[in-house]
Amino acid sequence: MKSITIKKTQSLKGEITVPGDKSISHRAIMLGSIAEGDTTIKGLLKGEDNMATLKAFRQMGIRIDEHENGIVAIQGKGLHGLKEPEDFIDAGNSGTTMRLLTGLLSGQKFFSVLTGDQYLRKRPMKRVVEPLNLMGAKIFGREDGNKAPLAIVGSKLKGMTYNSPVASAQIKSAILMAGLYADGVTTVIEPTISRDHTERMLAYFGADVKRNGATVSIKGGQKLVGKKIEVPGDISSAAFFMVAALITKDSELLIKNAGINPTRTGIIDILQAMGGDLKIANQREISGEPVGDILIKSSRLKGIEIKGDIIPRAIDELPVIAVAAAFADGITTIKDAKELKVKETDRIESMTSELRKIGVKVTPLQDGMTIEGGKKPIGNDSCTSWGDHRVAMSMIVAGLAVEKGITVSNTDCIDTSFPGFVKTLSGLGCAVSESQE
């Protein structure tokens, strides 16, 4: 296992790009594989999570070529072109891979088994298994279908209307994937809109997707046609550098070609509400997704209350928002974020634990946390990632602004979403080093 040591940094100045969006990369591989004809993907994130998805479709007979220029070429075989895999499909640490594939595989004419690493096998799957069963899926797993491995017997599916109890793009996307194979219309109604990359990409591939607020519908049997896709930079990866620039003195950082999908820009709205100087320039649309350049300058932040509809738009960024709160004046309260409990770790527990280690006063809540800022965290050398890439990077960002710096252990997990994270930090003049534990 690797550990990363970060020392206090005076300022961040420069221009960076971040790796391709993880969510969009997953969906590009999946839809490109079941589309008819060729799909080429520029900017695909080649982190461990996305490579698990890529490998899964290779196991099911899809030819995917990775070219030296970074282009990934997929020879799609249409909705019914996948073949039965000879072995388990290993989703690694990727909840997106497992949950979306559970939906897609439910409507196939073959048997398949999905498994994952020690962390993924602990994560709840019934949230997708139960609605898929209502469509006629046959899915079996540990704890009555709640834990992987999941065995899926491909079945004839029927469309339905599902009122989701939570706003979750993974639940919605799993059902829509199954809806492609179902008789009739499949509709998902959410309490508030979750990220909409699946709907956007289905439409980009030629599907007729009906959207009305937090309701989305798709008719089964629609043909998808291969496309050229350019994946924008992942705003969840950009978030670490947004916060880094805000909490270090005299910083000015430009993040180019970042995805600014409105269902994902909660991080920008929250940081601006905290007093952060962030501006978006050069807005445009690429492959059905909005893209822009984000300019960040160091700012004096203040504590705020974060709750309600903005939470699904910032759920993956809340760990690093908690770091911003630690360096803000006053108290920040995060509510309505129970989804944090079912990520790679229980992120309420893990972020409370690690922020306390560097001297931050944090009170965990059932659906979030309260963070008392205004007192400079001192830092030490005993933080850990909990095997969670976002916890790891959040604590490294905190190390940029604490007097003693921070050493974070078990950081191999960063490669699931941001290979090259340390290199990008080093390129901005940060004193960061890796060592083998």
Tell me the catalytic residues.
316
Give whole-number Cα distances, 350 to 39, 211, 243, 368, 419, in Å: 39, 36, 19, 12, 22
Contact assessment for residue 229 and residue 30, using Cβ atoms and an 8 Å cutoff: no
What gap in Å lies between CA 337 and CA 334, rounded to an integer?
A: 7
> What is the SS3 assignment for 242?
helix
Question: What is the DSSP annotation of 3-69?
Answer: EEEE---S--EEEEE-PBPHHHHHHHHHHHHHSEEEEEEES---SHHHHHHHHHHHHTT-EEEE-TT
Assess contact for 177 and 135: CB atoms under 8 A: no
Contact between 324 and 350 (Cβ < 8 Å):
no
Both tokens of 326, joined, read 């630690």
CA atoms 48, 53, 56, 57: torsion sign: negative
| Structure token digits, residue 156 | 């004839």
Question: What distances in angstroms separate CA 279 from CA 272, 293, 300, one per listed residue?
Answer: 9, 8, 16
- For residue 340, the 8-state DSSP code is G
Which residues are bridge partners to 74 per DSSP? 39, 64
DSSP 200-220: HHHHHTT--EEEETTEEEEET
In terms of Cβ atoms closer than 10 Å to its own Cβ (0-12, 13-18, 19+), residue 6 is buried
How far is residue 43's CA from residue 69's CA, in Å, rounded to a whole number? 10
Tokens at 52, concatenated: 């698990």
DSSP assignment of 88-104: -EE-TT-HHHHHHHHHH
Roughly what angle, to the nearest 10 degrees, separates helices 95-106 and 48-59? 30
